[in-house]
Structures are given as C-alpha cells and as structure tokens.
Amino acid sequence: MIQTVLGKIKPEELGICSVHEHLSIDLSRIKKDPDTILDDEPGMLEELRDFHQEGGRAMVEVTNDGMGRDVQRLKRLSEESGVHIIACTGFYKDPFIPEYAQNWTAEQFAMHFIKEATEGIEDTGILPGVIGEVGTSKNKIMPIERELMIGAALAGKETGLPVTTHTTLGTLGYEQVQILTDQGLSTEQIIIGHQDLNPHFDEVLAVLETGVYIDFDTIGKNNYRPDEERIEFLLEFIKRGYEKQILLSADLTRKSHWKKHGGPGYGLVLRDFIPQLRSRGVTQDIIDSFLISNPARAFTKKERS
C-alpha cells in the first residue's frame, strides 16, 4: 500500500505521479529570499488543479521539518484538488536542519522518523509515505548529514518506507547509496534525487547500476542544465535497459515557478517534456513506466521480512 495524507491507497490507484515536489515551503531562513516562500494556499490549489488538468493524479511533497512543512495544509489541498499527496518525515541537509536536531546522532534521527511514521506527524495523526528529502552538500558530506542519512536508512528498514534524497547539483549519489545500503536498506527503497543535474554520465550510470531508483526531478530548470541534455541521458539509459528505475518531476520551490507568477507550473513535465520524449521515439510504455508504474513501485511501503 501507499500512504497518502488522506490514508492508504493501492499502488494502482496512484496514477501519473510527480515524485519530488514542494507545495508549501519556506527556505527564507537560510536563503534570505522571499521568492522561496510558498504560503499562498488558494494559489497552491489553483496550481494543483492545473496539474490535474494536464493529467497529473499524484504528487510526492518532500518539504520536511525545517523547510516549512504543513501537512494539515496538504490534507486540505488533496481533499479539494483530488490529487493524491504523499507527505514526508525527514530533515533536509546542513544548514536547514532545525536547531533542536542539529547535534543528533543517527539513532536519534531514526527514532524521530519512526515515531512520525507510526504515530503521525506532530499531533495531526497524518502519516508520512516517504522519508526525505534527506541530503548532502555539494561534493562533501557534513558529519550531521552522514548521521542523518544513516538515521534515514535505519528508519526505512524499520518502517518499510522509501527514502528519497537530495544531492546538491547531483553530486555524491553513489556515496549516498553506499551509506544507505551499508545499513541494510534495500535498493528497492532508495530514490536518489536530482541526478539530472549531474553532467557526468558515468557517475549517474554508477548510481543506476546499484539497482536504486533515480530522480530526473529538476526538469525545466534550464538555467542549471538544458532539458536537451537530460533527454540525451534518458535515451542512453533506456537503451541500456534502466527505464524501470527512472522517475520524473520538476522540484518547484519558488513563487516564480508558479503559473500565476509567469512560471511553468507543476504540469510542465506532462505538458512540455513528455512530448519531447515522444518526438525522440520514446514509447508510451516507457513513458508510463516513468510516470505511473515506477512511482507506484517506488512508493509502495515494503513489508518487513
């Protein structure tokens, strides 16, 4: 089963899923930029309805404590939009980890995530469906980030929830896999984020070769990397038989990303990117894997053996 903010659903009920998004977020404590605050709830609903109109039926919302998480808001949005929303337990990366957790050990992180996964987030009774997005810095893993990653792995093993990560500009994906699997976490429960930001093909391939899922989740952010380069990587990964391990999303985090403010909105993958894949010969079966069957497998809670 897959845990959403409105309860459990069967994997086949998930539908087309955007696997790494933010609806309600506030990164301004660190970024000092009001554009990184999404607090307009009517605007969120408007954007979600546009996503639904493009064919989207589910969204994984990876805003955690320290990033402006508000699961009651996510519940209201899901009820009003008809979009399945999966909420998370977790912490982001240094320096976004809340002050109360900045000196925690891996075991303390794990206990916190397990508590939220079994009892509910804060006092809402709403259960998370994923541990994430837990992250590392650019080309380095800070000591607190290592503890966080180990804690996420331990909690994933205990709860059966998937662990979804943040890699800064796509770096250290392989190293993240090693940390998580060293704790005994199954590769079937691991989703390595932002791999479309890494321009080094062999590094991304090495992550895929471990058997984990990877996110191409910053689609449309051509200021970081042109979508054409993302497509070239995807075509080669398909050729090598890795289409069952790839997930797609856009990772919108700013007011300026929303349609109402002149941005592309959450439907951009479905509206703009998928037609480009089709024009390059990607079959509907593979597109359905990226959008439907891969997310359904990745976010299904694993039974403990």
Mean pLDDT of the 156-161 span? 98
pTM listed for this prediction: 0.97
Residue 273: half-sphere exposure toward Cβ, Cα within 13 Å: 29
Share of the chain above pLDDT 70, in %: 100
Strands 37-38 and 25-26: antiparallel
pLDDT tens-place string over residues 6-37: 999 999 999 999 999 999 999 999 999 999 99
Band (110; pLDDT cuts 50, 70, 90): very high
* CATH class (in words) of the domain with range 16-298: alpha beta
d(CA 230, CA 298): 21
pLDDT at res. 143 = 97
Residue 70, pLDDT > 90, answer yes
For residue 168, pLDDT over 80 is answered with: yes
Q: What is the mean pLDDT of the chain?
A: 97
* 142-151 pLDDT tens trace: 999 999 999 9
Contact predicate 132/116, CB 8 Å: no
What the block records as the tokens of 223 is 């200021």
**pLDDT tens digits for range 191-250:** 999 999 999 999 999 999 999 999 999 999 999 999 999 999 999 999 999 999 999 999
Contacting residues for 256 by C-beta, under 8 A, at least 6 apart: 35, 262, 263
- Beta strands in 111-269, from DSSP E residues, in sequence order: 130-136, 163-167, 190-192, 213-216, 246-248
* pLDDT for the residue 305: 55
